[in-house]
Structures are given as C-alpha cells and as structure tokens.
Amino acid sequence: MKAQTLTKGGGLVVLLVLAVLFPLVYNNPGVTVYGLYALIFATAAVAWHIFSGNTGYIALGQAVFIGSGAYTMGIAARDWHLSATATFELLPLCAAVGAIIAVPFGLIALRVRRHTFIVITIAVFFIFQLMAFNLSFTGGSSGLGFPFLTWTQAQVNQNFYYIALACAVGAIIIAWLIGRSRFGLQLRAIRDDEDRARGLGVKAMRVKLSAFVISGAITALIGAVWYYYVDQAEPQTVFNPLFDLTLVLMVFFGGYGSIAGSVLGALLIEPFSQWMSTQPAFSGSLSDVVLGGILLLVLLFMPRGILPTSAEFITKIRTRGRPAVVPATTIGAATATPSAPPVSSGGAR
C-alpha cells in the first residue's frame, strides 16, 4: 500500500512538472491558449465536483458564479481605477463575492431535490443573466472592459496559464482534502440517501450549503481569471447556459463522482472543442453536432465515464476474468491509473 501511495504521489509530481513545463516547451501562444482553457474548465469542473459530484445534486447554475466573479473584477477595477497588475489582487474579493452569492442561492435551491433543484438553478441563472443585462452598473448588453495589460500576447497567455494552473491545483487539493474528510463522507452520505443521512445525524442543509459555497467561491475565482483573459465581459457570453451543460458533460465524460474523472473530462473535451472552433471544416454549428454525437456515444456505451470504464476493463484483463479478491472497482481506480490524482476514497462507483 505504501509503495502504491509513493507511485501515485510520484505520478502526480511528474504531471505537475509537465503542466508547468508545457508553455515553456510549446511556447507558441496559440498552443498555450489550449492549455489555458483546459485548466480553466478543469478548475470549474473540480468545483462542480465538490458540490454536485459529492452530493448528487446536479447544479446547472454554475455560470452564475462565473459571471459574478467576472463582473466583480470588472466593476471594481473600473470604479476604483485600478492598474492592470493591481487588478489581480482583486481575485480573493471575486471568490468572496461568489461565496456570498452562493449562500442565498443555496438556501433557496437546496430546499428541493432532484429535478426541481435542477430547474431552480436554471431559473436563478436566468435571473442573474437578466440582471447583468438590465442593471445600470453592469454596462448593459455591451458589457464591461478590463484594465489594459501591457504584456505581449505570448506573455499574456503564459501568465494567465500559470494563474489558471495555480487555481486548478488549488481546487484539486481542496477537493481531495474534502473527499477524505468527515465532511466529504457526510456529503456522500447525502448522495446515497439524504433522509437516512439526516437520521444518522448529518446536518444535511448545513453540509450541502457549505459544499455549495466552496464550489461557488472557486467558480467565481476562475470566472474572474477567465474573463480578465478574454478582456470583455458581456452578459450573453459570461452567463452562458451552454457553459453549465458543457461542465456536466465534461464530468460525465471523464467519470462522475471522482476528481480525476472531472479533470480528465475537462482536459480532453475543452481543447478538442477549441480546436474544432478553429477548423473551417467544423464551421458554423457542425462542432455542436460532433460534440453532441460524442456525448451520446459515451453516455450510451460508457455510461459511467471513460475513467471508471477503462479502469474496469484493465482490471478485467489483469485478473483474466477471475474474480478479484478486493472489489474490482477499487483495484481499478487505485492501480490502473497510478498517474492520475487520487479518486476520492469510497467514491469509486
């Protein structure tokens, strides 16, 4: 077991070093952008996992936090006349605003479950989008600009890449710590059977709300980074209904309920859709059709995501069909993917 932990830890360090070296090796800014967007979505997917992956409540309103973070940064930088570098110091404020917004949002939405919860998150999302369009201080439909960065394009991409990498690593560590804590166990107890969890003394509302707030803060933080990079926050792009569904798609594609799966899904899908958007062959809306088709194939043939399914497959080959001593999924998650971040304990499904 100890050797296994060492391999796993070593693998993670290697992955991190590779991620740090990536923009230095491929120093073409066009390539760095792929990495940047992949990391932004990985952070958002891990944040989604902290709440929805653990509790089983499918939230489709994460764009609320992306938008809150982006608008907080834009409005504060404009009204306080901040310089470009000072704007980065606003990032903790953006996370705090995300957390504050998550409290009433969660208090309302978490009173209901399943489908009704999903629809409430969509409704709150639309309320926020319309507020961004209509309130006087948001700049209306033309949106907000951000302070001008004096870096070259290559510097911009590289610096934002490292900021996004720091966010992603931070989010993964937080998610991992939650996963192995008592708090994480309480969240997963809610996913398995909320009424029973309450009967066993889990303060369901408080626990769910805490996870929702953490998830909201991380999402708002990465939202601010994202739209500072884009340099323009418009209501229809910042509060984008497609973003919410894409996030869920990524997590289910990689493996619902595990940190590694959420990250993997984002790292595979986001660069692919970025690449498709640059190809004339997929111009217009063909990229949507391709993405939808892939999603359908994965859902129908690998319904638990590529990571758990391939782990099972490898276990099957290694044990040559003989029943394993330990439950097969645990072996698969632990040994088949040593280089991936640890699957939350007890979360292998």
Partner 1 sequence: MARELSEAIVDGILIGGVYALMAVGLTLIFGVLDIINIAQGVLVILGAYLSYSLFNKAHIDPYVGLLITIPAMFIIGVVIHWAFISRLRGGERTSMTLLVTYAVGLIIEGILYKIYGANNVQLSPSYVNSSVHVFDFYIGWVYIWGFVIAVALVGAVYALLYRTRFGRSVRAVMQDGDAARLVGINVNKVAAITFGVGVAVTAAGGMVFGETNAFNANSGYDLISRLLSIVILGGMGSVGGALGAAVFMLTLESVVTIWYPTWAVVVYYAALVIVLLWRPTGLFGQKAVRAQ
Stretch that binds partner 1, among 64-72, 152-160, 181-189, 245-253 (CB under 8 A): 245-253
For partner 1, the binding residues in 49-108 under the rule CB under 8 A are 58, 108
Stretch that binds partner 1, among 69-77, 94-102, 157-165, 285-293 (CB under 8 A): 285-293
- Which of 50, 337, 347 minimizes the C-alpha distance to 175? 50
Give the relative orientation of helices 328-335 and 306-318 as an angle to the nearest 10 degrees. Answer: 100
**What is each CA distance from 51 to 66, 176, 206, 256, in whole angstroms?**
15, 13, 13, 12
Interface pick for partner 1 out of 300, 320, 322, 323 (rule CB under 8 A):
300
Question: Toward partner 1, which CB reaches closer, 29 or 191?
Answer: 191
Question: Toward partner 1, which CB reaches closer, 86 or 296?
Answer: 296
Stretch that binds partner 1, among 19-27, 32-40, 74-82, 238-246 (CB under 8 A): 238-246
Rule CB under 8 A: is residue 241 a binding residue for partner 1? yes
Stretch that binds partner 1, among 149-157, 162-170, 171-179, 299-307 (CB under 8 A): 299-307
Residue 233 forms beta bridges with which residues? 144
Rule CB under 8 A: is residue 288 a binding residue for partner 1? yes
- Shortest spacing between CB 321 and partner 1, in angstroms: 22
Return d(Cα 243, Cα 231) in angstroms, integer: 18
- Which of 93, 95, 96, 62 minimizes the C-alpha distance to 77? 93
Question: Toward partner 1, which CB reaches closer, 8 or 304?
Answer: 304
Q: Which residues contact 149 (CB under 8 A, 6 or more apart)?
A: 84, 156
Return d(Cα 263, Cα 255) in angstroms, integer: 9
**What is each CA distance from 78 to 66, 74, 135, 145, in whole angstroms?**
18, 6, 16, 8
Rule CB under 8 A: is residue 133 a binding residue for partner 1? yes
Instruction: Let me know how long the chain is.
Output: 349
Question: Toward partner 1, which CB reaches closer, 17 or 130?
Answer: 130
Question: Toward partner 1, which CB reaches closer, 113 or 182?
Answer: 113
- Shortest spacing between CB 328 and partner 1, in angstroms: 17
Rule CB under 8 A: is residue 276 a binding residue for partner 1? no
Rule CB under 8 A: is residue 131 a binding residue for partner 1? yes
Q: Are strands 144-145 and 232-233 parallel, antiparallel or unpaired?
A: antiparallel
Tokens 């296994």 sit on residue: 4
By three-state DSSP, how is residue 232 classified? strand
